[in-house]
Amino acid sequence: MSKTTAKKVFDVAQARKEFPILERTVNGHPLIYLDSGASAQKPQSVIDCIARYYREQHANIHRGVHHLSQQATQAYEDAREKIRQFINAEHAHEVLFTKGTTDGINLVAAAFGRKFLAAGDQIIISTMEHHSNIVPWQMICEQTGAMLKIIPINKRGELLMDEYESMLNDRTKLIAVAHVSNSLGTINPVEDIIKLAHQRDIPVLLDGAQAVPHKRVDVQALNVDFFAFSGHKLFGPTGVGILYGKQALLNDMPPYQGGGDMIERVTFEKTTYNTLPHKFEAGTPNIVGGIGLGAAVDFVSQYDEQEIVAHEQNILAYATKKLTDIDGVKIVGTAANKASVISFLLDGTHPFDVGTILDQLGIAVRTGHHCTQPLMDFYGIPGTARASFALYNNRADVDALVAGVRRAAAMLL
């Protein structure tokens, strides 16, 4: 169980020492890892936690009376409680373990959609959504006859909130938007989005995959109805994530999948379902993933979140200025309120070619459409190069990126 302790002063040089992968080289150069928006690296404490579980604790959970099963169950449920505290959910049973953000959104689309959507109803998403917050809603719309409505954005990558407000009506059944855009870094005005929706009793789901690594999220303060995020973007393992849902909504939704652990009693005539959270956690879960995510929460929670935010904003400002000083570089996504993500283009080149040259220098960036093809269509481009920063990045990483982009320009133009 997590305990209240004094926060450590954040120091990026010390934090970097927690990540063993940052000591390696790529193509003969020190690794410069600027792809945390896709998946963050893991601190030694998370690696050790995972190894320790497999070495000392592994057994199936919730069903065993023997010592190892009891020990593994306790560690898994302790992790759930750590995460409850981390996002300030009211109840631990409102914290559902999933495979990740995508799985959490699909759970809501299927379970909420089957219960509450009918022909002519509306679901509202935005232009900047990740495919995982588009396709599940398209699928449930095809099944129910509901319609998908899209909040437009401006060229800076900011939602047009007047347009959003005008879209709300009695047929609107759910709002599902990104808290932070993975492609643009835009931090959306989610407090206003939720407030306007709740004035009409419309529930809101936030895709929090890009939010929790960069800012502390308080689901009760936000008054959000559903909040989904992934462990691997929060310095934890892959294949595990969280869906937070308000108790009343989760109780009112049918199960997403059937199987072990989500049942109370099964007969061939009828099955009765388990209570929360187990009702939505069918089958043997990713036990070590959940425990590892708890360790990642411990790692992040040791620091004052405002110090991490200040550090990342400093890196973002420094990188933005340095990149825009390069002739031919254009940043895509210039919202006034951004997380530490920079998507950019180099005139006359393809992002893939820029990324390939950077890789030869040991610099890892993401290239392509970033699973946001409708957003790329809005800008009329096939994709971008994206540098996404985390708490372990420093100004030297930015300087290496800038030098690499300058080299790419010299080679390609």
Where do runs of H (alpha helix) occur along 117-176? Answer: 135-144, 161-167
- The DSSP result for 242-277, as a single string, is EEEE-HHHHHHSPPSS-STTSEEEE-SS-EEEPPTT
Nearest to residue 349, comparing CAs of 372, 326, 333, 371? 326
Q: Is the peptide bond prior to 382 cis by the omega test (within 30 degrees of 0)?
A: no
Name the active-site residue from 26, 59, 371, 412. 371
By the 10 Å C-beta count (0-12 exposed, 13-18 middle, 19+ buried), 202 is classed as buried
Please say whether the beta carbons of 341 and 185 come within 8 A.
Answer: yes
Alpha-carbon distances, residue 16 vs 24, 191, 251, 312 (angstroms): 12, 33, 43, 14
Residue 49 falls in the annotated catalytic set:
no
Torsion of CA 187, 375, 231, 249, to 10 degrees: 80
Please say whether the beta carbons of 77 and 68 come within 8 A.
Answer: no
Tokens 């219960």 identify what position? Answer: 115
Look up residue 36 and give its two tokens.
Answer: 């945390």
Please say whether the beta carbons of 151 and 125 come within 8 A.
Answer: yes
- The DSSP result for 294-348, as a single string, is HHHHHHHHTB-HHHHHHHHHHHHHHHHHHHHTSTTEEEE---SSB-SEEEEEETT
Nearest to residue 236, comparing CAs of 10, 5, 96, 50? 50
For residues 26 and 376, give the distance between their C-alpha atoms in angstroms, rounded to a whole number: 30
- The DSSP result for 311-323, as a single string, is HHHHHHHHHHHHH
Residues 6+ apart with CB under 8 A from 20: 44, 47
Catalytic (active-site) positions: 371
